């Protein structure tokens, strides 16, 4: 049934759509995610088949846990090809000690799956599904919640969320908003079902208004609907929990939860290899081989499969979608600009490290650069971004000073963070994308754009002045701010265009429907979780929102305070002093960021990750300096997240503190001088280790190749003992 639905979906995807000018929500996931997605869908579809058969026979509804034993569940998981848990013994090798794995596995040695790619989002509160196991809130229209039907997400969007104007936040720049979206793509990616047809009927989800997995369409007031695909399920929670929890639908995080710059480097070995400049033997990332910017600087490489889905300039040479470690890179010009900035920063650092350490292998150059880039993402996010979002007091209350790595902390992203709390930023989306010239005025050749004209348009970067006009627009424009009566701009509630849909979509409705799809508990449950007072009356809500008219509208629609969706409730709360969130989202974001820091064995401040001198140099860096080093921008605020009307508060790039990479200079060891550099191998590389007390070269193969021979060779006396291994292609299976 699942594969048949996929077959129908692929046939539809092969048919060229009438319009190629939209915003894609069906982002491509890597093959590993697709395999796990298929397994999860087979597993949960099988559960539904069993429940339907039992209902037909016994004329009543059953839960899966009433029908199955643990042995049944384990057999079903095996038959569905669910991946098995990673054994902690896998993490004992020394190659897991020095650098992060690309998938995040073995960051926590005792619990290798914590924070790793393609594992379930964690639940801080139990899910609330209408059937207890997987049916979203609102799946059955006749179902009453606290005595009332839930309001349609589209009604909530139209009557409460939609705003025709936004007020400006004179404290912060648009870059604060854009960094939030960018760093979110480093931490969470919840893939949607890879099938666009219902499992039971093969009905196209684009054309049906019926709830049939994975179709969960958004009903509108005029008896029409917007297409919506459910998030792909994980297979099942491993044995050790109770069977009801094990059979409950959980959603995947396709990427690593850690702040590790995985959106630059990828989260699978296959993607990592594809993004590297392996033939160059220089530790750099691959760059675009067709275009450079007006100053000869690099762009991101294009996607492998062409023609791609991106819009393109009708005149001149076609510009394809860019490729990066995260498939959402082409979503907008600001994301493309930030990805391009970090690609250039990686290659700039790699070039310097290779120059000062000419004995380093390309793998060491790459890994050390990746380590620095990851640390810079952590510092910019924790030092410069998060305190502005949740406020200094909440930062102190929920995050506090760093106390070292704690292996008992699960750094996995939580469902409520990914699906609700960190979507607070949707309230700060500007309807206009500003593009500015060297004087930080509207660019004379490349004027501002309505937001919907910037979606999936990499050609605008290549053909319209590079990334500088967009980055200046991010720095030199005040951020929009959300208020209880100015939440989401009409540009995203009425004019959102989706590549695989012919109609306009609504971001607010999508967020509300996604929360219900995931079975998120309501606003009041999360307030109680955070130690906040539950809202029980209109007066309570009016105090929290500080706008009685908005509070009245919410209760008029929801009828009961316990029915309020958590994303809406958190979004309308009055901001805490010095923050851009209310108390609920400040709590949920603060708790998550603390877990991401304390549960990360490779956090930049953790013992043994960097030397004291290297830490001091890392702290000198800033997003402003990185912009200076990799663009033609020469004047910038010291903190580019703070807004200042040019030229007030702007400094020349030469006046900014700069990180010296000399702290990474490494003299050749005595043993290396005696033995010389180990032999290079084709389709593989090595890093050095001295864990055993002897200089050792640890070899590994690039993705797709298999190691033949000993992975380690040791420097003894004045030579390398044993020949290095070979990397061979696996035999073809016909």
- Enzyme catalytic residues: 185
Cβ–Cβ < 8 Å for 193, 34: no
Per 3-state DSSP, the chain is made up of helix, strand and coil in percentages (nearest 5) of 40, 10, 50
Per-residue three-class SS string for 283-342: CCECCCCCCECCCCCECCCECCCCCCCCCCCCCCCCCCCECCCCHHHHHCHHHHHHHHHH
Q: What is the end-to-end Cα distance of the chain in Å, rounded?
A: 26
State how far the Cα of 721 lies from the Cα of 715, in Å rounded to an integer: 6
CA distances for 655 relative to 616, 628, 634, 644, angstroms: 18, 11, 10, 17
**Partners of 479 in the β-ladder:** 169
Cβ–Cβ < 8 Å for 426, 507: yes
State how far the Cα of 451 lies from the Cα of 94, in Å rounded to an integer: 48
Burial class (CB in 10 A: 0-12, 13-18, 19+), 182: buried
Alpha helices in 122-173 (DSSP H): 153-156
State how far the Cα of 313 lies from the Cα of 330, in Å rounded to an integer: 15
Taking the CB of residue 408, how many other CB atoms lie within 10 A of it?
9
CA distances for 223 relative to 217, 220, 449, 497, 596, angstroms: 11, 6, 34, 21, 43
Q: Which residues contact 620 (CB under 8 A, 6 or more apart)?
A: 657, 658, 659, 660
State how far the Cα of 639 lies from the Cα of 144, in Å rounded to an integer: 50
Residue in 373, 380, 365 with CA at minimum distance from that of residue 261: 373
| CB burial readout 228-265, b (16+ within 10 A) else e | bbbbbbbbbbeeeeebeebbbbbbbbbbbbbbbbbbbb
State how far the Cα of 386 lies from the Cα of 403, in Å rounded to an integer: 18
Cβ–Cβ < 8 Å for 509, 154: yes
Tokens coding 268: 């699978």
CA distances for 417 relative to 526, 540, 620, angstroms: 11, 24, 30
Does residue 722 have a known ligand-binding role? Answer: no
Residue in 469, 509, 557 with CA at minimum distance from that of residue 149: 557
Tokens coding 116: 């790793």
Residue in 426, 424, 422 with CA at minimum distance from that of residue 413: 422
For the four alpha carbons of 109, 114, 116 and 119, in that order, the dihedral sign comes to positive
State how far the Cα of 396 lies from the Cα of 390, in Å rounded to an integer: 10
- Which helix (DSSP H) or strand (DSSP E) does residue 707 occupy? strand 706-708
Phi, psi of 695 (to 5 degrees): -65, 125
State how far the Cα of 10 lies from the Cα of 34, in Å rounded to an integer: 14
Annotated binding site: 426
Annotated binding site for heme b: 426
């Amino acid at each position: 049934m699942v594969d048949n639905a996929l077959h129908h979906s692929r046939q539809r995807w092969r048919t060229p759509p009438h319009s190629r000018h939209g915003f894609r929500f069906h982002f491509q996931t890597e093959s590993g995610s697709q395999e796990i997605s298929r397994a999860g869908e087979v597993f949960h579809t099988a559960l539904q088949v069993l429940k339907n058969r039992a209902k037909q026979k016994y004329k009543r509804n059953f839960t899966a846990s009433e029908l199955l034993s643990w042995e049944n569940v384990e057999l079903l998981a095996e038959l569905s090809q669910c991946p098995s848990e990673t054994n902690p013994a896998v993490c004992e090798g020394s190659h897991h000690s020095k650098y992060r794995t690309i998938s995040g596995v073995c960051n926590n040695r005792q619990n290798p799956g914590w924070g790793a790619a393609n594992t379930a989002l964690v639940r801080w509160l139990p899910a609330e599904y209408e059937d207890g196991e997987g049916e979203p809130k609102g799946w059955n229209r006749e179902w009453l919640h606290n005595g009332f039907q839930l309001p349609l997400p589209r009604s909530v969007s139209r009557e409460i969320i939609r705003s025709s104007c936004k007020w400006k936040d004179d404290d912060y720049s648009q870059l604060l908003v854009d960094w939030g979206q960018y760093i979110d793509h480093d931490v969470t990616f919840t893939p949607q079902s890879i099938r666009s047809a219902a499992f039971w009927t093969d009905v196209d989800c684009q054309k049906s208004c019926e709830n049939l997995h994975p179709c969960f369409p958004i009903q509108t007031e005029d008896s029409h609907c917007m297409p919506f695909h459910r998030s792909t399920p994980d297979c099942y929670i491993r044995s050790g929990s109770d069977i009801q929890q094990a059979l409950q639908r959980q959603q995947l995080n396709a990427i690593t939860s850690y702040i590790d710059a995985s959106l630059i480097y990828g989260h699978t070995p296959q993607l990592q290899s594809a993004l590297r400049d392996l033939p160059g033997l220089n530790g750099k990332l691959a760059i675009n081989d067709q275009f450079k910017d007006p100053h000869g600087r690099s762009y991101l490489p294009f996607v492998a499969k062409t023609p791609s889905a991106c819009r393109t300039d009708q005149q001149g040479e076609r510009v394809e979608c860019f490729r990066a470690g995260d498939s959402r890179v082409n979503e907008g010009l600001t994301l493309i600009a930030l990805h391009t900035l970090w690609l250039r920063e990686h290659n700039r650092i790699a070039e310097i490290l290779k120059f000062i350490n000419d004995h380093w292998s390309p793998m060491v150059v790459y890994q050390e650069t990746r380590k620095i880039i990851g640390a810079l993402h952590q510092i910019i996010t924790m030092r410069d971004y998060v305190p502005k979002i949740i406020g200094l007091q909440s930062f102190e209350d929920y995050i506090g000073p760093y106390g070292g790595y704690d292996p008992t902390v699960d750094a996995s992203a939580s469902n409520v963070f990914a699906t609700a709390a960190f979507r607070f930023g949707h309230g700060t989306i500007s309807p206009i994308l500003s593009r500015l010239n060297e004087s930080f005025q509207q660019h004379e050749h490349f004027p501002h754009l309505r937001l919907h004209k910037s979606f999936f348009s990499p050609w605008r970067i290549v053909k319209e002045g590079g990334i500088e006009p967009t980055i200046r627009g991010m720095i030199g424009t005040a951020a929009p701010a959300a208020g209880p009566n100015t939440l989401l701009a009409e540009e995203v509630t009425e004019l959102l265009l989706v590549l695989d849909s012919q109609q306009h979509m609504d971001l607010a409705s999508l967020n509300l429907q996604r929360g219900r799809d995931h079975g998120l508990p309501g606003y009041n449950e999360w307030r109680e979780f955070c130690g906040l007072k539950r809202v029980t009356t209109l007066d309570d809500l009016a105090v929290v929102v500080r706008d009685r008219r908005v509070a009245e509208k919410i209760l008029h629609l929801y009828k009961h305070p316990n029915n309020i969706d958590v994303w809406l409730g958190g979004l309308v709360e009055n901001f805490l002093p010095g923050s851009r969130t209310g108390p609920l989202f400040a709590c949920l974001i603060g708790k998550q960021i603390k877990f991401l820091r304390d549960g990360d064995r490779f956090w930049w401040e953790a013992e043994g990750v960097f030397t004291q001198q290297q830490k001091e140099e890392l702290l000198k860096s800033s997003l402003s300096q990185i912009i200076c080093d990799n663009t033609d921008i020469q004047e910038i605020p010291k903190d580019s997240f703070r807004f200042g009307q040019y030229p007030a508060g702007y400094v020349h790039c030469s006046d900014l503190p700069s990180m010296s990479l000399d702290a990474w200079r490494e003299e050749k060891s005595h043993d290396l001088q005696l033995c010389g550099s180990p032999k290079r191998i084709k389709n593989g590389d090595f890093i050095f280790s001295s864990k055993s007390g002897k200089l050792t070269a640890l070899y590994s193969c690039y993705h797709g190749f298999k190691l033949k021979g000993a992975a380690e060779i040791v420097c003894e006396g004045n030579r390398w003992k044993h020949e290095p291994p070979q990397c061979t292609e696996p035999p073809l299976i016909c």
